[in-house]
């Protein structure tokens, strides 16, 4: 059974070769995109004391960075559709580097919001989307494995950056550390340099994808559109909001992201609330990250098998639902050992969703529309990503107990998981119906063409005989 959406790339992706170098580059770019905002929290205590600001004021540095990374999605998509992934990732790396160097000279917390938060966040957006997009141009058959490997960059870079940041902080303070991080993040430029446009083999001739690939994939501009509208539509495919599968994915993800990150954010505080010491609480996060690191490539491998790939949306639905079940059971976990078991199962669930999140979108809209689709999805997810943890924190403040927060996150994950199962069952049936109809139409068309040709041949033969 074919995947839910054809590639429509107009060429056969290599599914290997230089593609594996691109996966490694995406591993670096995606790793920095997701791990960088989290790893900066190590400096927050000193920065908070230095600028005499509150916990929430310092927390906004990471929140603004994450929000800019998500809000920068459509901008990143437009740039990728126009120039391709390589230059956008390299510019993104330079932006994050400049942001960290400028922040190291900051004299107010506002400077950090603007530098680290806005400039750095958009720089990370120019790393995330292009890295995800280019994988879809190199892989079709092995794409779930490629996506799973690339998404593994996040836990790997985080487990490297976290101790490195602690060492830099102890040795050079936050200003010196920011200056050094400004050089370390230039590795995103190196990763971008590896993202060579795919050589398309169309009718035997090889041609490099110039990055303006969207121009030959878009529908013609409708004459009624104004020039600015048609220009905007040229780079952002708004027809996606009429795409059944895309709407299912979008609706489910918006709900899901209200409960996706909070259990990670509150895992250590919840353990300390239970009377567990800070090192044992930190061990829970290390356990979670270690499991996450291994389950992502494993999930990509499983998603690539002939049993799962044709119905990979069910695999994604299971991963989302499994997250919800973990959080609903967490408050029942007995003592520290129970929390360690929860951290293992949560790491499995979080890693499965992370490995499948973008593969599921590519499977639905096809690699040729993924760049625009992921930009639209990320800017809409910006809200729940930002609001999720504060809402969960508010539940803890109101009830003075974490269990209601875990119940809420469990519902926020289980409901979209069940929604995905139901809606993708319906969507798969509709796709199969539409495919049968298109095959019937094609057969009828080719039959009519054949009959027309035969009658023309007979006519020619009679004229020759006559
Ligand atoms: C949003 C997920 C797909 C990835 C993530 O947040 C992470 O890797 O930390």
Render each residue's pLDDT in the chain as its tens digit; 466 residues: 444 444 567 788 999 999 999 999 999 999 999 999 888 877 888 888 899 988 778 878 887 888 899 999 899 999 998 999 999 999 999 999 999 999 999 999 999 999 999 999 999 999 999 999 999 999 999 999 999 999 999 999 988 887 888 889 889 999 999 999 999 999 999 999 999 998 876 655 555 554 444 433 333 334 444 555 554 555 567 889 999 999 999 999 999 999 998 898 888 888 888 888 878 888 888 899 899 999 999 999 999 999 999 999 999 999 999 999 999 999 998 889 999 999 999 999 999 999 999 999 999 999 888 988 998 999 899 889 888 888 888 888 888 888 999 999 999 999 999 999 999 999 999 999 988 888 888 888 888 888 888 888 888 888 887 6
354 lines ligand 1 (CB under 6 A): yes
Per-residue model confidence (pLDDT) at position 235: 59
We report the CATH number of the domain holding residue 396 as 1.20.1250.20
Largest CA distance in the chain: 104
**Is 208 contained in some domain?**
no
Q: How many structural domains does the chain have?
A: 2
Burial class (CB in 10 A: 0-12, 13-18, 19+), 31: buried
Say how far apart CA 151 and CA 350 lie, in whole Å: 12
pLDDT for position 399:
86
The reply to whether 380 and 270 lie within a common domain is yes
Residue 353 falls within a domain, yes or no? yes
Asked if residue 150 and residue 256 are part of one domain, the reply reads: no
Print burial letters for 360-388: b (CB count within 10 Å at least 16), e (below 16): bbbbbbbbbbbbbbbbbbbbbbbebbbeb
Interface ipTM above 0.85? yes
Name the token pair of 156.
Answer: 């790997």
Query: pLDDT value at position 221?
Result: 37
Same domain for 324 and 445: yes
14 neighbors 138 (Cβ within 8 angstroms) = yes
Residue 229 included in any domain: no
- Are 151 and 251 within one domain? no
Which residues are paired to 206 by β-bridges?
A: 201
User: What are the CA-CA distances from residue 98 to residues 86, 112, 195, 416 (Å)?
Assistant: 19, 12, 22, 39
Residue 112 sits in the same domain as residue 244: no
Same domain, 182 and 311: no
Q: Indicate whether residue 34 lines ligand 1 (CB < 6 A).
A: yes
Ligand 1 pocket: which of 151, 257, 295, 360 to mutate (most atoms <8 Å of CB)? 151
- Give 258's contacts (C-beta < 8 A, 6+ positions apart): 384, 387, 388, 391, 409, 412
Note whether residue 452 is domain-resident. Answer: yes
Alpha carbons 32 and 25: distance in angstroms, whole number: 11
Q: How far apart are CA 260 and CA 397, in angstroms?
A: 19
Question: Would residue 203 count as lying in a domain?
Answer: no
pLDDT at 234: 57
The whole-angstrom separation of Cα 77 and Cα 310 is 27
Q: Is residue 367 in a domain?
A: yes
Closest Cα to atom 8 of ligand 1: 154
Q: Is the CB of 213 under 6 A from ligand 1?
A: no
Asked whether residue 112 falls in the same domain as residue 258, the answer is no
Supply the residue whose CA is at minimum distance from atom 1 of ligand 1.
Answer: 354
Protein residue closest via CA to atom 2 of ligand 1: 354
Last residue of a domain, one of 198, 222, 252: 198
Quick check: CB of 323 below 6 Å from ligand 1?
A: no
Last residue of one domain, picked from the residues 176, 198, 220:
198
DSSP 131-200: HHHHHHHH-STTHHHHHHHHHTHHHHHHHHHHHHHHHHHHHHHHHHHHHHHHHHTTHHHHHHHH-PPPEE
Nearest protein CA to atom 6 of ligand 1, as residue:
34
> Strand, helix or coil at 226?
coil
Is 241 in the same domain as 287? yes
Residues 290 and 414 in one domain: yes
User: Would you say the CB of residue 150 lies under 6 angstroms from ligand 1?
Assistant: no
Last residue of a domain, one of 140, 171, 198: 198
pLDDT at 350: 96
- What pLDDT score was predicted for residue 213? 46
Ligand 1 atom nearest to CA at 158 = 9
The answer to whether 195 and 25 have CB atoms below 8 angstroms apart is yes
Ligand 1: centre distance to CA 457 (Å): 63
Q: Are residues 317 and 389 in the same domain?
A: yes
Residues 47, 140: one domain? yes
Q: Are residues 47 and 128 in the same domain?
A: yes
Given a contact cutoff of 8 angstroms between Cβ atoms, the answer to whether 353 and 416 are in contact is no
Q: Could you tell me the two tokens for 220?
A: 């013609």
CA angle 62, 68, 69 (to 5 degrees): 90
User: Do the domain assignments include residue 223?
Assistant: no
Cβ-contact 350, 337 below 8 angstroms? no
Instruction: Give the residue numbers spanning the domain of 84.
Output: 12-198
In angstroms, what is the span from residue 154 Cα to ligand 1's centroid? 7
In a domain, 205, yes or no: no
Classify the C-alpha dihedral 459-460-463-465 as positive or negative: negative
**CB of residue 357 inside a 6 A radius of ligand 1:** yes
């Amino acid at each position: 059974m074919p995947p839910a959406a054809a590639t429509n790339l107009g060429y056969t992706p290599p599914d290997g070769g230089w593609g594996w170098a691109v996966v490694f580059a995406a591993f670096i770019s995606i790793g920095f995109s997701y791990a960088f905002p989290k790893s900066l929290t190590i400096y927050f205590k000193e920065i908070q004391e230095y600028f005499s600001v509150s916990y929430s004021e310092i927390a906004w540095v990471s929140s603004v960075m994450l929000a800019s990374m998500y809000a920068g999605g459509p901008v990143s998509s437009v740039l990728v559709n126009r120039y391709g992934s390589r230059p956008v990732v390299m510019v993104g790396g330079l932006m994050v580097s400049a942001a960290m160097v400028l922040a190291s000279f900051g004299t107010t917390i506002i400077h950090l919001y603007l530098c680290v938060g806005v400039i750095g966040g958009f720089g990370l957006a120019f790393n995330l989307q292009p890295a995800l997009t280019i994988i879809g141009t190199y892989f079709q058959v092995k794409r779930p494995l490629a996506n799973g490997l690339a998404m593994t960059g996040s836990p790997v870079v985080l487990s490297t950056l976290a101790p490195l940041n602690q060492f830099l902080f102890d040795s050079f303070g936050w200003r010196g550390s920011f200056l050094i991080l400004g050089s370390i993040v230039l590795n995103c430029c190196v990763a971008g340099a590896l993202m060579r446009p795919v050589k398309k083999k169309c009718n035997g001739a090889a041609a490099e994808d110039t990055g303006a690939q969207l121009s030959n994939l878009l529908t013609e501009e409708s004459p009624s559109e104004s020039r600015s509208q048609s220009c905007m539509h040229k780079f952002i495919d708004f027809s996606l909001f009429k795409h059944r599968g895309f709407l299912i994915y979008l609706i489910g993800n918006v709900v899901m992201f209200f409960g996706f990150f909070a259990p990670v954010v509150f895992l250590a505080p919840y353990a300390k609330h239970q009377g567990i010491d800070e090192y044992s609480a930190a061990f829970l996060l290390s356990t979670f990250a270690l499991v996450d690191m291994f389950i992502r490539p494993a999930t990509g491998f499983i998603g690539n098998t002939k049993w799962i790939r044709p119905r990979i949306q069910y695999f994604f639905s299971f991963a989302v639902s499994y997250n919800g079940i973990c959080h609903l059971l967490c408050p029942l976990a007995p003592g520290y050992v129970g929390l360690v078991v929860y951290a293992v199962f949560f790491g499995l669930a979080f890693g499965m969703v992370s490995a499948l999140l973008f593969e599921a979108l590519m499977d639905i809209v096809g690699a040729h529309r993924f760049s625009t689709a992921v930009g639209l999805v990320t800017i809409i997810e910006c809200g729940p990503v930002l609001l999720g943890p504060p809402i969960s924190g508010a539940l803890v403040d109101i009830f003075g107990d974490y269990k209601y927060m875990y119940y809420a996150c469990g519902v926020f994950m289980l409901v979209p998981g069940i929604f995905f199962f139901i809606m993708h069952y319906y969507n798969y049936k509709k796709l199969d119906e539409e495919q049968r109809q298109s095959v019937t139409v094609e057969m009828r068309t080719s039959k009519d063409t054949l009959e027309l040709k035969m009658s023309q041949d007979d006519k020619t033969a009679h004229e020759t005989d006559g």
